[in-house]
Amino acid sequence: MSDSYSLLILPGDGIGPEVMAEVVKVIDWFGANRGMSFDIQHGLVGGSSYDAHGTPLTDETMAKAQSVDAVLLGAVGGTQYDSLDFSVKPERGLLRLRKEMDLYANLRPAQCFDALADFSSLKREVVAGLDILIVRELTSGVYFGEPRGIHSDDNNPDNEGGRVGINTQRYTSGEIRRVARSAFELARRRSNRVCSMEKANVMESGILWREEVQWVHDNEYPDVELSHMYADNGAMQLVRKPRQFDVIVTDNLFGDLLSDAAAMLTGSLGMLPSASLGAPMANGRPKALYEPVHGSAPDIAGQGKANPIACILSFAMALRYSFDQGDAAAELERAVERVLADGARTADLMGPEGGTPLSTSEMGDRIVAALSQG
Ligand code: NAI
Ligand code: MG
């Protein structure tokens, strides 16, 4: 019996369609060789959708995204859209997807491929073999909390400039519990360890965070090893001894910073995948959007220079987290590891020693060939 999965593919703008074409080769390979069947729909998002429909995301595409097992997105944006009104900018399409699908858990792996360890800003012996997963709360916290704004502070004569800027860190217990559950579920598929980061020493929302994560652990995931760490210490530990971690769960603001810092432990932007997960659907699979961390790279778009690996590894995450195909995900990650070990490099991965870089489609072909060689 074959396993059937529904996918919505949204290539987007710039290098998005170029890297997505390589992902489609990989999907076809798994369909032909691993007894999976994919029901694939295609759609537009970002500037390409604006050009065709006058909006960065149509209601029809939004409805499709809500109905499939997983959405795979390339990237949105481009200089030709810079002058558009804010309400129809390409980014609004992506933001609408994240918001209406209520994707509250943002997964950012930091995985060091041995062949690229010298790209890290840290020493090889500190990062070799690194494989951690940062789970960032994505839909609440200080980026959304009320009150917010810039106000005049007129009745405070001691305030030079007379203004005050306000943002509010606000978390409900329910928001913390649901992202904590995501982290514990993910840890069970990995090394079964979660480290929760906040600043409970100086923030009440941090105290609540720590208590609620502990509550979910004690009541629902006592088998997972849980530790707590102040986020500033977490930042130090990430660059000092990153391999001590498995899954890190943290709030929106700390997660924004920590995931970007962790990403640079492993090298190039062209290598970094991500996933955003929401609540489980009726079939038990979470609402899910997979996308590379990088943007539409207008500086290299249309030239066949883009590295497709970030987008291909995002599909590996879909195999693991939406389709429960952990073995297939690992198989794909090993194929990437192997072509890199063989010296395959797109331009962004070329060291000072130089050489001739592979094109986007050559890199995709190499990865498919490595899959076939087993
Ligand atoms: P970017 O990630 O597109 O590019 C930054 C640099 O990295 C560029 O020099 C680019 O050539 C290079 N790069 C990125 N991905 C690469 C790949 N796969 N292979 C080789 N090189 C790669 O970020 P930037 O330049 O700040 O933004 C460009 C556009 O993308 C903007 O319109 C921005 O709004 C949008 N953007 C979209 C995102 C998304 O769709 N999630 C995320 C970030 C930016
Ligand atoms: Mg960031």
Q: 256 C-alpha vs ligand 2 centroid, how far in Å?
A: 5
DSSP 42: E
Ligand 1 touching residue 270 (CB < 6 A): yes
Inter-residue contact 114 to 341 (CB < 8 Å): yes
Q: Does the CB atom of residue 271 touch ligand 1 within 6 A?
A: no
> Percentage of the chain with pLDDT > 90?
90
Mean pLDDT for the chain overall: 95
Run of H or E including 90 = helix 90-100
Give, using CA atoms, the residue closest to atom 34 of ligand 1.
77
pLDDT digits (tens, 9 = 90+) for 41-88: 999 999 999 999 999 999 999 999 999 999 999 999 999 999 999 899
DSSP assigned state of 246: S
Ligand closest in space to the Cα of 84: 1
Closest ligand to the CA of 78: 1
Give, in degrees to the nearest 5, the angle at Cα 336 between 322 and 311. Answer: 50
Q: How far is CA 267 from CA 119, 156, 252, 255, in A?
A: 5, 48, 23, 19
Helices marked H in 107-155: 124-127
Does 155 have pLDDT greater than 80? yes
Q: Is 307 in the pocket of ligand 1 (CB under 6 A)?
A: yes
**Could you give the residue numbers annotated as active site?**
143, 199, 232, 256, 260
- H or E stretch covering 367: helix 360-373
- What average pLDDT does the segment 100-121 reach? 92
Closest by alpha carbon to 316, among 91, 34, 76? 34
Does residue 248 contact residue 234 with C-beta atoms inside 8 Å? yes
Picking from 197, 179, 190, the residue whose alpha carbon sits closest to that of residue 132 is 190
Q: Kindly report, residue by residue over 265-302, the tens digit of the pLDDT.
A: 887 899 999 999 999 999 889 999 999 999 999 999 99
Sign of CA dihedral 244, 247, 251, 256: positive
Closest listed residue to residue 247, CA positions, set 100, 105, 83: 105
* pLDDT, position 268: 83
C-beta of residue 195 within 8 angstroms of C-beta of residue 250: no
Closest Cα to atom 36 of ligand 1:
295
CA distance 271 to 111: 9
Q: Binding residue per annotation — 83?
A: yes
Give the model's pLDDT for residue 156: 92
The span from the CA of 289 to the CA of 318, in Å, is 8
Domain residue ranges in the chain: 1-107+267-374
Q: With bands split at pLDDT 50, 70 and 90, how would you rate the model's confidence at 24? A: very high
Residue pair 278/111 in contact by the 8 Å Cβ criterion:
no
Q: What is the pLDDT of residue 1?
A: 42
Q: Which CATH superfamily is domain 1-107+267-374 in?
A: Isopropylmalate Dehydrogenase (3.40.718.10)
pLDDT tens for each residue of 85-98? 989 999 999 999 99
Give the strand pairing for 247-250 and 286-292. Answer: unpaired
Q: Average pLDDT of 233-242?
A: 96
Provide the terminal-to-terminal Cα distance of the chain, rounded to the nearest Å. Answer: 22
pLDDT digits (tens, 9 = 90+) for 333-347: 999 999 999 999 999
- Buried-state track 131-155, b at ≥16 Cβ within 10 A, e below 16: bbbbbbbbbbbbeebeeeeeeeeee
How many residues does this entry show for the chain?
374
Please indicate whether residue 95, judged by its CB atom, sits closer than 6 Å to ligand 1. Answer: no
- Rounded distance from Cα 271 to ligand 2 centre (Å): 16
Q: Find the helix packing angle between 59-67 and 90-100, rounded to 10°.
A: 40
312 is in an annotated binding site: no
Ligand nearest the Cα of residue 348 is: 1
Q: What is the pLDDT of residue 2?
A: 55
Q: What pLDDT, on the 0 to 100 scale, is given for residue 352? A: 76
H or E element: which one contains 132? strand 131-137
d(CA 345, CA 357): 6
